[in-house]
Amino acid sequence: MLTSTQLRDRDVNFVLISNGNDWVEDNFAIDLYGRVLSIYDVNDEIGQTCDSLFAKATGLNH
pLDDT band (50, 70, 90) for residue 5: very high
pLDDT band (50, 70, 90) for residue 46: confident
Beta strands in the chain (DSSP E): 13-17, 33-39, 59-60
Every domain of the chain and the residues it spans:
1-40
Q: What is the pLDDT of residues 9-45, one digit of tens each?
A: 999 999 998 888 888 889 999 999 999 999 988 888 8
Instruction: Please determine, for residue 58, whether its predicted confidence score (pLDDT) is greater than 90.
Output: yes
